[in-house]
Every structure is written in C-alpha cells, then in structure tokens.
Homo-oligomer: A and B are copies of this chain.
Amino acid sequence: MADNKKMVEAITSMEDNFAQWYTDVVKKAELASYSGVRGCMIVRPYGTALWENIRNDLDARFKALGHENIMMPMFIPESLLQREKDHVEGFAPEVAWVTHGGDEKLQERLCVRPTSETVFCEHYADIIHSYRDLPKLYNQWCSVVRWEKTTRPFLRTMEFYWQEGHTMHETAEEALEETERMLNVYADFCEQSLAIPVVKGRKTDKEKFAGAEATYTIEAMMHDGKALQSGTSHYFGDGFARAFDIQFTDRDNSLKYPHQTSWGMSTRIIGAIIMTHGDDNGLVLPPAVAPLQVVILPIAQHKPGVLDKARELADRLSAVARVKVDDSDNSAGWKFAEYEMKGVPLRLEIGPRDIENNQCVLVRRDNREKTVVSLDELETKIPELLQAVHDGLYEKALARRESMTFSVTNMEEMQKTADEQPGLIKAMWCGDLDCELKLKEIAGVTSRCMPFEQEHIADTCVCCGKPAKTMVVWGKAY
C-alpha cells in the first residue's frame, strides 16, 4: 500500500465510464471504502473531515435561524412507526428490524430509524401544550438506515449520515414559510459554500415524501447530465399532529393541532460535489468545505532553508486558510498528482529560487492557472484565489447546466431529446399522474420538480395535449 501510494494511478476517464470514474474518485481520493456489511460504507478521514465542514457550515445556518439540536433514540417501536398510515407504507418495506436484545426475544420489534418524524411527534405530544410552546425548531445530526437493494458510496447507502430538522408551528402559514425558508437555506448553502447551482421547486404528488402534503426540493445537475436531489423540505400540515394527538391551547383558548415541517440534507451531497466539480484528475473541492485549502509543496526540499521556509509559511497562513506542508520524501510529481486527486483548491510551490526572489507559485486546482505571488502578499492573495476557485467552479457548473437544459413541447421532441442529449428537459404538464407515468415509460424520465421560477413553454401538456398547469423539469436521476 505504501508502495502503491508512490504512484498515483490514473483513474478511468469520465468519458469512458462515468460510473467507474465516480467509484475511482471515491476510492483514490480516500473519501470512503466498503465495509463488511453490504451497502454500508466506511467514511474515511478525508471524507469525514469534508462532512464535518459541511455539518458545521449548515449547523451555523440553522442555529442562526433559532433552531436547536436534539438527540433522539435510533430505535422506533413498530407500533409507533405504524401510527401515520402513508408514512409506514412508505418506509416499512425498507427498514432494519431489531428482534432480539442479547438472548431475549423482544415483545415488540424495533426498527432502526429510517427517518424520525414519528419519534419527534411522540416527544412533541409530551412538550407542546400551549401556543407559548411554539414554534419548536429542532434538528438532529445522526445516521439513518434504509434497506436498499443496490447501493453506491454517498449516493445510496443502507446507512447514511444526515441532519433532519423537525419543526412545529401555530399556523399552516408559518409552517409553509419554514418549509420554504429551509429550502432556501439549502439552496444558499449549495451555491455559496459548495459552488453548486440548483433548481428550486416542488415535487409532484408521485415524488413527494411519505406522509407529506408538499415536498420542496433542490435539484442539481451532475457532469453526466443526470439530476441529483440534493436536499428536501416537507410540509406536513397537521396530518402527523392528528395521528399523534398533538394539541395546543391557542391564543383564543381553543384546542388546535400544530402544523409541521421536516427537512434533510445527507452525505449524498458529497456525491453531488464529486459529480459536479470532479474531473479526470480526480476530486475538485469547493474551498469553503475543503478539509485542506492550500497544500504547500517544498521544491528541492533537501536544499538548505526550503523546508524551514515552507513550514514558516504554513504557520503564518494557518490564520487565513486550512494549510498543510507535505514534507514527505515522495517526488514532486507524485505530490502534484496526489493533491489533484484529493481536490485541494490551491497548491503553493516554493523552492530555493523562489525564496531568493521572495515569492512562490500558486496553482489553482480547477483550471491549473499559475500565479507568481510575493511572499508578503499571501495573506490577501490566498483568500482572493480561493474565492476565484469558488467562482470559477460555480460558473462552470452553471454554464454546463444551461447548455444541457432543453425545452420540448411534444412527445416526439421529448423522446428524441431524452434519448440523445444528456441533461434536463423542461416541458409543460397537465398535472395528471397518467402523463407522468407515460413519460417515464416512453422517454425514461421522471419529474424532478415543478420549479418555483416557472416559464411558459407551451399551452398544452407535453404528453396528452390537454391544457397545461405547470412547467416541470424532467430528467434521469440518481
């Protein structure tokens, strides 16, 4: 392994085999590896550090809006899961069941949470009694389990990590506002911290969450033109509150059911980062969440003064960025390839000649652009270049999405576009489930969302020709 590490092996190119390229990046960048349990991944230290940065960024956004974290049990009794009909139908087929504790058979089976609406509701029934107890704005960071048939690291795993927000409100309006607010938090996070442009919209009834009245989503487009649902926010109305008998005394002294939301973002988003920004040299990480933002590579490090200077710079620069010196005895070529594979946004090269000239070379990961920078200016130049990497990534992703988004007005166009062009397809829809199913059957696309930003592409449904109600973004999806 140590010897293998000396040569950074080339990975499959995206062009040749996108799925294999993805797997290669996950493995070679040391983000995750398979464990002995089918469908469960080991998130390795580099992947974990990335997830921690994602968590800390999102967590600060949630807390700034008044949300509090809570830690709920991972087990849900079968009878509790069954309390809300649509919900149990959606989740029961894919949960892991605990039947024994030690040698003893349990009187009631427990499932390992696939999501926690039911346990939150049980707790809310205990603690919500008056309008003064509202809103309740809770969130938890945890892992959940869904018994999936086919899995891929980050994209679909049996156990995955996420946050799940669960909130309760006095009125439907407040709950709807919260549902939208949290979708916007996700969209802002994707754009500002991950450099991933997203389409915000509402899911059709067919695609919404089990038990929800409405599901909002952000959809991102991957390198191969497929969509990836990157975060969802659900409005439940008072359905769960009724099922769990959660009532409060309102300002007018009458008993009412509160209105509920939940919203989640998971380790799937790491899949989105890989497939939005990655290239044939490996991972490309958005600076805001990169575990390492600048790697300092001493050139001719055996020459006197080089290593000392590199370490001195690392000390200095740790005030403005996440920095590390690689002073291992691996070759410079190996190091270049290794940190490209790991997607480190900036590489700082410093050798004897540079030191003489009081300068160094900064190389951007996203476009390999080199800049010679005076050592005195690093504290301003590095944040500028990190911002430039972020902007470059965002613009490239946005331009790709725009060039790979098509509009169609009839089934012939729809089928031809879906067959021939990877990407997203905008088309009008009448609102009937039949047409949605037919589009899946004939063109192989599903509705990704009904975007909040609507366009009028045609008067009639792309499928049945009846009057259209809404524009839908269709596509193939992860």
A-to-B contact residues, CB < 8 Å: 1-3, 33, 35-37, 40-45, 47-49, 51-52, 68-77, 80, 92-104, 110, 112, 119, 122-123, 126-130, 132-133, 138, 142-143, 145, 147, 159, 161
Q: What is the bound-complex CA distance between A100 and B99, given in angstroms?
A: 8
Considering the chains assembled together, what is the distance between the CA atoms of A142 and B74 in angstroms? 11
Q: Measured between C-beta atoms, what is the minimum distance from A268 to chain B in Å?
A: 14
- Decide: A110 near B73, CB < 8 A? Known: A1-B133, A101-B96: no
**Pairs across A and B, CB under 8 Å, 7 listed:** A2-B132, A37-B76, A42-B72, A48-B69, A75-B159, A93-B102, A95-B102
Contact between A72 and B35, CB atoms less than 8 A apart:
yes
A40 to B119, CA, bound (A): 12
What CA separation (Å) do A122 and B35 show in the bound complex?
A: 8
Is the beta-carbon distance between A51 and B71 smaller than 8 angstroms?
A: yes
Taking A1-B127, A35-B122, A99-B100 as known contacts, 20 extra A-B pairs with beta carbons closer than 8 A to each other, sorted by chain A number, are: A1-B129, A35-B72, A35-B119, A35-B123, A36-B80, A36-B119, A36-B122, A42-B71, A43-B70, A47-B71, A48-B69, A49-B69, A71-B161, A74-B143, A95-B101, A96-B98, A96-B100, A97-B98, A97-B100, A101-B147
Pair B73/A147 contact, Cβ less than 8 Å: no
Could you tell me if B159 and A73 are in contact, using CB atoms closer than 8 angstroms?
yes
Nearest chain-B residue to A136 (Cβ)?
B45
Task: Knowing A97-B98, A147-B101, say if A130 contacts B3 (CB, 8 Å).
Answer: yes
Copies per assembly: 2
Q: Are A110 and B42 neighbours in the complex by a CB distance under 8 Å?
A: no
On whether A68 and B45 interact (CB within 8 A), knowing A73-B40, A77-B37, the answer reads yes
Please give, as numbers and ranges, the residues of chain B lying within 8 Å of A147 by CB-CB distance.
101-102, 104
A74 B44 Cβ-Cβ under 8 A: no
Complex Cα–Cα for A130 and B70 (A):
42
Interface centre among A1, A35, A71 (most CB of B within 10 A): A71
Instruction: Flag if A70 contacts B45 (CB, 8 Å).
Output: yes
Q: How far is the CA of A119 from the CA of B36 in the complex (A)?
A: 8
Q: Which chain B residues border A129 with CB–CB below 8 Å? A: 1-2
Contact in complex: A42, B130 (CB < 8 Å) = no
CB distance from A310 to the nearest CB of B (A): 19
- Report yes or no: B97 in contact with A93, Cβ–Cβ below 8 A: no
Contact of A126 among B33, B110, B127 (CB under 8 A): B33
Across the interface, name the chain B residue whose C-beta is closest to A161.
Answer: B71
Docked complex Cα distance between A257 and B69 (Å): 42
Are A73 and B2 neighbours in the complex by a CB distance under 8 Å?
Answer: no
Cα-based distance from A126 to B122 in the complex (angstroms):
43
Closest to A43 in B: B71
A44 to B73, CA, bound (A): 11
Chain B proximity of A102: nearest CB distance (Å): 5
Query: In angstroms, how far is the closest chain B Cβ from the Cβ of A124?
Result: 11
Contact between chains at B35 and A48 (CB < 8 Å): no
Are B44 and A70 touching (Cβ within 8 A)? yes
Q: How far is the CA of A102 from the CA of B39 in the complex (A)?
A: 14
Establish whether residues A36 and B77, one from each chain, have CB atoms under 8 Å apart when the complex forms. Answer: yes
Judging by beta carbons under 8 Å apart, are B98 and A103 in contact? no
Check A40–B75 contact: CB distance below 8 A: yes
Q: Which residues of B contact A42 (CB under 8 A)?
A: 70-73, 119, 123
* Bound CA–CA A73/B34 (angstroms): 10
Assembled-state Cα–Cα distance A355/B252 (Å)? 38
Q: Determine how close the nearest CB of chain B comes to the CB of A139; give it in whole angstroms.
A: 9
A97 → chain B closest CB, angstroms = 4
Report whether A2 and B98 are in contact in the complex, using a CB–CB cutoff of 8 Å.
no
Inter-subunit contact B99/A97 (CB<8 Å): yes
- Provide the residues of chain B in CB contact with A132, threshold 8 Å: 2
